[in-house]
């Protein structure tokens, strides 16, 4: 009974948040590239929980109770796989940051990691940026509330999935130079994000298979992270 009450209140809060706002886009002007040599990579807002989700869970067809069951099922699967991932030494936020930095380096940018404080559990762009101390030309503000594995439905395989929101801000005056979202394994049109097709090498027909092969699954997730970082670098060329 206590677990059911907890599930009910989690769902109620989620429903009260309403629909997500659309992705805001600002294309990068290539003429700004010559002035951006060093990027300050601000501490990304990335969860350490590896999510395991279904875009359309079978339980959702059973009304409110089914929706609660679906949410609980996905939360439990996420917790179980995160535990398995951590057992291999995998820390989601650290791996993601490393892959993003590698992609930027390959595109010719020098990268300086910069620690910033973010609200606990807050997945959004920063409201304020550091004062310009001359050490970088721009700040890269990143957040992702979806890093893990997603299946379209109950009969489709789980695939690595990443949704990264990106904003590049000039250090001197905090002008937004670029803003977009990049989605690996997007469904539909990706809600307007730049989309990357997933590798079919890392498909898992059932959750049990995902749990039985955590190293292969995490290899696929790191590939997704790296592909997202490389796409970001392409956007900034």
- Spell out the per-residue pLDDT of the chain, length 237, in tens: 444 444 433 343 343 333 344 678 888 998 988 899 999 999 999 988 999 999 888 877 777 877 888 889 899 999 999 999 999 999 988 888 898 899 899 889 999 999 998 877 678 999 999 999 999 999 999 999 899 999 998 889 999 999 999 999 999 999 999 999 999 998 765 678 999 999 999 999 999 999 999 999 999 999 999 999 999 999 988
- Could you give the CA distance from residue 216 to residue 218 in angstroms, rounded to a whole number? 5
The token pair that represents 138 in the structure block: 């721009």
* Beta bridge partner(s), residue 181: 165
Residue spans of the domains in the chain: they are 2-235
DSSP 202: S
Which pair of tokens denotes residue 134?
A: 């001359």
Using CA atoms, how far apart are residues 89 and 97, in angstroms rounded to an integer? 15
Q: Is 68 left (phi over 0), alpha (psi -120 to 50) or beta?
A: alpha
Q: CA-based angle 92:6:79, to the nearest 5?
A: 25
């Amino acid at each position: 009974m206590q677990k059911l009450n907890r599930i009910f209140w989690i769902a109620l809060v989620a429903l009260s948040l309403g629909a997500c706002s659309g992705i805001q886009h600002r294309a990068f002007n290539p003429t700004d590239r010559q002035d951006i040599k060093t990027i300050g990579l601000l501490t990304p807002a990335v969860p350490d929980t590896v999510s395991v989700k279904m875009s359309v869970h079978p339980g959702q067809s059973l009304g409110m109770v089914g929706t609660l069951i679906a949410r609980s099922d996905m939360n439990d699967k996420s917790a179980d796989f995160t535990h398995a991932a951590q057992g291999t030494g995998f820390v989601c936020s650290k791996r993601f940051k490393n892959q993003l930095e590698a992609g930027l380096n390959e595109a010719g940018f020098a990268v300086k990691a910069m620690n910033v404080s973010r609200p606990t559990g807050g997945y959004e762009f920063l409201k304020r940026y550091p004062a310009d101390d001359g050490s970088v030309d721009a700040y890269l503000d990143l957040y992702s509330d979806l890093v893990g594995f997603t299946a379209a439905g109950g009969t489709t395989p789980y695939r690595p999935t990443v949704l990264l929101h990106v904003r590049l801000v000039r250090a001197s005056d905090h002008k937004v130079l670029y803003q977009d979202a990049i989605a690996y394994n997007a469904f539909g049109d990706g809600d307007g994000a730049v989309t990357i097709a997933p590798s079919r090498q890392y498909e898992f027909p059932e959750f049990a298979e995902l749990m039985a092969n955590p190293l292969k699954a995490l290899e696929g997730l790191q590939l997704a992270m790296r592909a997202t970082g490389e796409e970001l670098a392409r956007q900034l060329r």
